[in-house]
Amino acid sequence: MSTTAMALPVPFLQARRNQSAHFSVFALLFAETISYFQNRVDSIAELEERLLDLGQQIGRRVLELVWLREKFTRREIDVLGALRFTTTTVWRFLFGKFADSLERVKDKENEYIIVDNTMLFARFISVPTELEGLNCNALIAGIVQGVLTASGFPCRVDAHQAPPADASEYVSRSLFSIRFLPESNHTF
Amino acid sequence: MQVYNFYLFSRHGTCLYYREWQRTRPGSDTQQEQQNLIGLLFAVKQLCRSLAPANDDSLPIDTATRYMPRGPSNFCSYSTEKYQLHCFESSTGLRFVLTTSPTASDLTRILQRVYREAYVECAIRNPLYTLGTSIVSESFRKRLDSVIRTLAVESTVFRPASEKALRGNGSPATKS
Amino acid sequence: MFEPSGERASTSQSGRSSSATSVKTQDTLPSAGFNVAALAKIGEQAFQRGELVSAELVALTYGALVRQLFLDYQAPEDVNEELERIGYNIGLRLVDDFLARSAAPPCRSFQATAEIVARVAFRMYLGVSARPANFAADNTAYSILFDTNPLAEFVEVPDAVANTLWYSNIFCGVIRGALEMVQFSVRASFTRDMLRGDECNEIRVCLLRELEETVPLDKET
């Protein structure tokens, strides 16, 4: 990772940190990405898989960028540290806030869940009946997977939806379940 | 004030969304009614344009050769003794139509809020919605209701006409 | 966290002054009757009011999409075309978002669209300042110039495709789609790109024809 940073041209490192774009730009880019894939897959599972792949591409780069921006000098050496880093620093980079909670799945050694109550995407996506079961958060799941895998903890991330905690809310809660693969069960 | 019906028409004149809250006299042929309504709105717009004075000062000079002003019409409502019809047309040709009991106030702002808070939020941004098709989103209905409810706060008669007119089961609209 | 920096506000100042010199024709009507400062303010306010995401996230997502297109199409010409098509679909939707949120004055003429797109839309959505320039004498074409391109933030185009790929071609599609919805059929294309070493980005927008509203026929049923 450090070699990548070394090779970067100077303007890159000086890039404005606080540059931001309107949310609609991202939402519509995301929408068109989905419809681009939609014409090229046969099943919903395949569509989610393509989104996950794309997310991983993004996630790997997000990790490097966050490291560069936050000037980290040490890397996380255990699963929990990497997860905390993801739910705080990475989450803030992506969404401008921390994730709402990080939980360990009961009776499972290496499974965790990240919960976000106010995921922006969940607010405006409503899935028509012919695509029942499609979860557009697969892209975000891919980003999380990309970040963790690139940090040295290979895992599989799946996105789920849960009804909102408060019935008056429109937004359903977004869950990301993370299952670490056996080879990530090591310390550096 | 009572709120009766809401229509949303696409730029090509198809009805994207229809919802009734308090309709005491059911329409005989909904589809025909919607077509008549959009026909009326188009006709009014044409008429408004052709009656308008030719030299509109608000227009840039290079459009002087054009015989009609472009863009949405500013027609916003008509009223009869029984009801009032409010209309808002976006620059892209979407038409938001609301019928209420006769009221003196201008509801364009409310319809603009429907545009912004319901249509843009729940249709435009929804990757799984195809433009120009009818809207079946549950969240669109909730948002539409919540905007309209702000109108009807002072009125106790605001409630859905019948449960079967609603999609889904729970109806937060009754709470007002 | 996502506060726009003061630095960019100053770029917009310099951008405005240079636009005065680059307008070759139509000196009497450089802004289609609009107050340029007011437009910039509308754009800035809409930007401040909106929910913001990291521009870098957008850049990375776009980059991943372009990469995917290269895997699927290979030929850079096809990638350009597909990016334009994706942009067009975005434009069809974005225009409603823009009209509903920005409080920008309506585009009553083709020339007015130049001001609105460059001064309000670019600022509102990307936080960058753009300026219209090079109006054709008969008002059927103009250019949009901008110096900062958030999409190309991390990009270096490989030599093999450097002269064929227009990396940010999605912009052209967005402009085409958005203007079509307000009844202007246009063709938009990049003529200069900083990724190719030019001194600024330039998108040329040419009016093909003005569309008339079609009255629906009631033969459907």
Residue C179: the pLDDT is 92
The subunits that touch chain A, with at least 3 C-beta pairs less than 8 Å apart, are B, C
Contact between chains at A123 and B121 (C-beta distance less than 8 A): yes
d(CA C19, CA C131): 6
Residue C3: the pLDDT is 37
Q: Which residue has the higher pLDDT, C23 or B8?
A: B8
Contact between chains at C60 and A65 (C-beta distance less than 8 A): yes
| Structural domain for A169, as ranges | 23-184
All structural domains of chain C with their residue ranges: 7-210
Residue B101: the pLDDT is 87
Tell whether A13 is covered by a domain. no
Residue B31: the pLDDT is 85
Contact between chains at B140 and A126 (C-beta distance less than 8 A): yes
Which chain B residues are within 8 Å of A134, Cβ to Cβ?
128
Residue C188: the pLDDT is 94
Residue C111: the pLDDT is 86
DSSP annotation of A129: G
ipTM over 0.85: no
Residue A104: the pLDDT is 87
Residue C170: the pLDDT is 94
Q: Which residue has the higher pLDDT, C104 or A9?
A: C104
**Number of cross-chain residue pairs from A and C with Cβ atoms under 8 Å apart:** 113
Strands (E), chain A: 20-22, 101-104, 111-116, 155-162, 173-180
Q: How far apart are the first and last CA of chain A?
A: 15
- Report chain C residues touching chain B, CB-CB < 8 A: 29, 32-33, 92-93, 95-97, 99-101, 106-109, 111-112, 139, 181-183, 210, 213-216, 218, 220-221
Tens of pLDDT along A53-108? 999 999 999 888 888 777 666 777 788 888 988 898 888 888 878 888 888 888 88
Residue C142: the pLDDT is 93
Work out the minimum CA distance from C39 to partner chain A, whole angstroms. 17
Is B45 in the A-facing interface, judged by CB distances under 8 Å?
no
Residue B56: the pLDDT is 52
Amino acid at C8: R
- Using 50, 70 and 90 to split pLDDT, how confident is the model at A9? very low
* Complete domains list, chain B, with CATH: 3-53+66-175 (3.30.450.70)
Tell whether A18 is covered by a domain. no
Tens of pLDDT along C119-153? 889 988 988 889 998 998 888 899 999 988 888 88
b/e for C128-167, b at 16 or more Cβ within 10 A?
A: bbbbbbbbeeebebbbbbbbbbbbbbeeebeeeeeeebbb
- Using 50, 70 and 90 to split pLDDT, how confident is the model at B64? very low
Which chain C residues are within 8 Å of B8, Cβ to Cβ?
none
- Using 50, 70 and 90 to split pLDDT, how confident is the model at C13? very low
Mean pLDDT, chain B, whole residue set: 76
Which chain B residues are within 8 Å of A168, Cβ to Cβ?
172
Tell whether A16 is covered by a domain. no
The subunits that touch chain B, with at least 3 C-beta pairs less than 8 Å apart, are A, C
Residue of B nearest to A129 (CA): B136
Residue C6: the pLDDT is 35
Average pLDDT over residues A108-113: 86
- Asked if pLDDT for residue B159 goes beyond 80, the answer is no
Name C174's Cβ contacts closer than 8 Å, sequence gap at least 6. C87, C88, C90, C91, C94
How many other CB atoms are found less than 10 A from the CB of residue A51? 25
Record the tokens describing residue A156, joined without a space.
């599989």
**Number of cross-chain residue pairs from A and B with Cβ atoms under 8 Å apart:** 42
**CATH number, domain containing residue A124:** 3.30.1380.20
- What is the DSSP track for chain B? --EEEEEEE-TTS-EEEEEES--SS--S-HHHHHHHHHHHHHHHHHHHHHHS-S--TTS-GGGTT-SS--S-----EEE-SS-EEEEEE-TTS-EEEEEES--SS--HHHHHHIIIIIIIIIIIT-TTPPTTSPP--HHHHHHHHHHHHHHSTT-S----S-GGGSSSS--GGGG-
**In this structure, are residues C133 and C143 in contact, taking their beta carbons and an 8 Å threshold?**
yes
Work out the minimum CA distance from B137 to partner chain C, whole angstroms. 17
**In this structure, are residues C68 and A112 in contact, taking their beta carbons and an 8 Å threshold?**
no
Record the tokens describing residue B111, joined without a space.
């319809």
Tell whether A51 is covered by a domain. yes
The torsion angle over the Cα atoms of residues C81, C86, C88 and C94, rounded to 10 degrees, is -160
d(CA B131, CA A82): 41
Q: Please tell me the least confidently modeled range out of B35-49, C2-16, C139-153.
A: C2-16
Tell whether A99 is covered by a domain. yes
Average pLDDT over residues C84-93: 93
Is B134 in the A-facing interface, judged by CB distances under 8 Å?
no
Contact between chains at B72 and C106 (C-beta distance less than 8 A): yes
Q: Please tell me the least confidently modeled range out of A75-89, A144-158, C171-185.
A: A75-89
Mean pLDDT, chain C, whole residue set: 80
Q: Which fold has domain C7-210?
A: Muramoyl-pentapeptide Carboxypeptidase; domain 2 (3.30.1380)
Q: Which of B125, B138, B140 sits opposite A28 (nearest CB)?
A: B125
How many other CB atoms are found less than 10 A from the CB of residue A136? 25
Record the tokens describing residue B49, joined without a space.
């344009």
Residue C11: the pLDDT is 34
Residue C156: the pLDDT is 85
The three-class DSSP label of residue C10 is helix
Q: Which residue has the higher pLDDT, B58 or B6?
A: B6
Record the tokens describing residue B156, joined without a space.
């106790």
Q: Which residue has the higher pLDDT, B110 or B1?
A: B110
